Amino acid sequence: MGLMSGSRSPPRRPSSPLAALDALLAEPAGDPIRRALWLDGLDRRLRPHLPSSLAAHARLANFENRRLVFLVDAPVWKAKLRLAAPELLDVARSIGLDAVELVVKTTIVPVAAAAPPSRKPIPMSAAAQQAFQAALASLKDSDPSGPDDAA
C-alpha cells in the first residue's frame, strides 16, 4: 500500500467548474461522460420531432448497434413511440446516424423533466389598480432633492 500511494502526484485543484469538467474529460474515465453528453445532445435533437404529448414521456437512452433505444414511462407511450419510429429513424439518419431500428423500453421512473406549469397573469382588481396608480403618482410628484423649502 505504501508503494502505491507514493507513486501518485497529489490531485490538482481546478480553478473553475469548466476546468474541472475539462480535467475529468481528459482522464480515461471521461469517455463514458463524453458519451452521456453526446447522448443527451442527441436526445435534444431527436425529441422535438416527436409529438409534444409523447416527447414529455420519452427519452433517448442509447444508440448502439444501429439501434436507437428510447425509454418511456408507460406502455401507452411505448405504442405511440413505435408508431413514430419511421419518422424518428429518418430524422436520425438525416443527422448522420446509421440508425435502422428503434427499441422502446418502459420504465417506472418519469423519463423527462416536467415542464413548469404556465403561469397566467392574475387580473388586477379595480381597487388594486387605483392603489397602484396612486402610488406611482406619489412617486412622480415627490422631488428627489428634498423638501420644497428653498424658494
The rounded mean pLDDT for the chain is 78
Tens digits of residue pLDDT in 106-135: 988 776 555 555 667 778 888 888 988 888
Burial grade of 112 (CB within 10 A; 0-12, 13-18, 19 or more): middle
Q: What is the pLDDT of residue 104?
A: 94
Tens digits of residue pLDDT in 68-106: 999 999 999 999 999 999 999 999 999 998 999 999 999
Instruction: Name which of 82, 77, 83, 78 is nearest 53 in CA terms.
Output: 77
Domains of the chain by start residue, with CATH: 34-108 (3.30.300)
Q: What is the pLDDT of residue 140?
A: 79
Q: What is the pTM of this model?
A: 0.54
